[in-house]
Amino acid sequence: MDNQEEFQIIQRICEGEINLYSIFLHRYSNAIYSLIVRIVASKEDAEELTQDVFLKAFKKLDTFHGKSGFLTWIYRIAYNTAISATRKTRQEIYYFDESMIDKVSEQHVDQLFENDENETLHHQLQLSMDKLNPEEKMLLLLHYSKGEKINDIASIMSLSADNVKIKLYRLRKKLYFLITNVDEYAKR
């Protein structure tokens, strides 16, 4: 189903064919849930937030103009909902000296992340991802897991495309730093 088809279905929903909304629920509920559950950690909260996202999207459906895909549009709602939810609850914050990122060599980062068969590295990466703040996690998930384009991520996170690129660039270095200094950060 392309953007045009989705837009036509949305127009029909706005005209009263509400049951057609289940198409989007069946198609995208897992994608939205998988994104939120990695941010809020609790299964129950994530499910409730996913429901909230679809309800909010339904209420705002008449503002969808089909410029982007429905998934990108709903990711934006999911992002705002998940981030608001994390702000309401107490989150464990890891102190991280951002100036350390500048000392990390780009070549080392490239070499480390090129390797996709190192199980230990994968495990370390998963542990390091838990130490990222919700915005960083979301950026990582949207780019690497959901495969969203830079421009779409920029629209989802209300940033400029250049800003997204810079954030991703620093994020890779931060992950590298967290992995290579795992002993120090594990204690915090």
Partner 1 sequence: MLMNMQKDKAIIQALNEEVFPSLSPNFNERAMQLIYKEVERKKKLNFIFMISCISAVSSGLIVMAIYLLKHYLSFNFAIHLQIPSFKPDAISQYYFDIYIAVLILVLVYLDHLFRNFWNKKRFEGSIGQ
C-beta of residue 170 within 8 angstroms of C-beta of residue 77 = no
Sorted by sequence, the CB contacts under 8 Å of residue 102 that are 6+ apart come out as none
129 binds partner 1 (CB under 8 A): yes
Question: For residues 99 and 126, which CB has a smaller minimum distance to partner 1 in the complex?
Answer: 126
122 binds partner 1 (CB under 8 A): yes
Question: For residues 34 and 80, which CB has a smaller minimum distance to partner 1 in the complex?
Answer: 34
54 binds partner 1 (CB under 8 A): yes
C-beta of residue 136 within 8 angstroms of C-beta of residue 186 = no
d(CA 87, CA 133): 11
Binding partner 1 (rule: CB under 8 A), the pick from 45, 47, 135, 136 is 47
d(CA 154, CA 30): 22
Q: How far is CA 56 from the centre of its chain?
A: 18
116 binds partner 1 (CB under 8 A): yes
d(CA 159, CA 89): 24
* Per-residue binding letters, 57-86, with partner 1 (x by CB under 8 A): -xx---------------------------
Q: What one-letter code names the amino acid at 98?
A: E
154 binds partner 1 (CB under 8 A): no
Binding partner 1 (rule: CB under 8 A), the pick from 7, 11, 165, 180 is 165
135 binds partner 1 (CB under 8 A): no
Q: How far is CA 147 from CA 9, 72, 81, 99, 101, in A?
A: 24, 11, 20, 29, 25
Q: Which residues of this protein are in contact with partner 1, per CB under 8 A?
A: 16-22, 25-26, 29-30, 33-34, 37-38, 43, 46-47, 50-51, 54-55, 58-59, 110, 112-116, 118, 121-123, 125-126, 129, 140-141, 143-145, 147, 165-166, 168-169, 172, 175
